[in-house]
Amino acid sequence: MRIVLSGGGTGGHIYPALAVARQMEMEDSKSTFLYIGGTRGLESKLVPQENIPFKSIDITGFRRKLSMDNVKTVMRFLKGVKASKEMLREFKPDVVIGTGGYVCGPVVYAASRLGIPTLIHEQNAIPGLTNRFLSRYASTVAVSFEGTESSFPGSKHVIYTGNPRATTVTTASPQRGFASLGISDGSTVVLVVGGSQGAKAINRAMIEMAPLVGKGNGVHYVYVTGEPYFEETRAELRQKLGSLPNWLHVLPYVHNMPEVLACTSLIVNRAGASFLAEITALGIPSVLIPSPNVTNNHQEANARQLEGEGAAVVLLEKDLNGTALYEAVQTIIVSEAVREQMSAASKRLGKRDSAAVVTSELRRLAAKKS
């Protein structure tokens, strides 16, 4: 099968598309792909590293306030549609999938105008502007959170698939995770991470929390600060604690996140959809601190989905400090029964083989076309 993938801007849009590609390769070694992304997005770096052919269009998102930039965006959209049609005619895909980000707009719209079956995937509990627009043209809309199908009224076909990124982490080795951290197998690990670039508010709370932990009580705390905040955070921790104790591991970035997640007992993190898909696939209890600086406050909506099922505790950034974070962590980490209950709830949310569900729908659409 010939598949065009599109999605970009952030890893949360790119990794689900890559997960679908890998799943399809497992199912059919003759599958061929073309990834159409943006010239400015992270996909222009990540996708070629995955040995998937990559082409780009120049596109930007709409500003929510009236601006002359929006006129330029409309012009880029129209040019993007024209360029996408040329790429699609040349590649001749059986199906096109968009996984979010404004680059999907011209690509999926162009495919629909050419009569090519299309699927869009929405990772968040509250749909983004691009997917709301595309839902009127796509053959299928796939959602990550069960019960959010109603967010796309008037769409031709809406299905609950889960997030394809979840499938990627299920085979990760906890032993390799422990080894990469220099921690003994079977240890209790609390992972605190604020996203790939870090989060200043979470780092500040981590610094304030460290003295409250005492001697660690047999728990290893892994602080992932993000590259921009690493030196500053480590220096402040050393000033507060005198030196970094053996139970505290401070890292700028984690390159093998699936393996580290596989050895994690409790995670403190933001509430981006792809990351939530990973932790629920592994059944990890969580303390979620949604970013308040995202469109439609969709991270809090994502987090409340997990909280409502008993898989997470939600701590809003406006209430975040070292004491509040310490108390939220302690409530979970000191009780094995609480951790087991939350882990079971998390696993229930992540039980679907999401990538396989998506590829099954792609096959159905391609067969319907033929």
Residues contributing to the annotated binding site:
10-12, 124, 196, 299
Query: Residue 90 has which token pair?
Result: 């040349």
Q: What's the rounded Cα separation, in Å, for the pair 37 and 199?
A: 27
305, exposed or middle or buried, with CB in 10 Å at 0-12, 13-18, 19+?
Answer: buried
- Residue corresponding to tokens 């627009």: 133
Query: Residue 325 has which token pair?
Result: 């974070």
Report the binding-site residues for UDP-N-acetyl-alpha-D-glucosamine: 10-12, 124, 196, 299
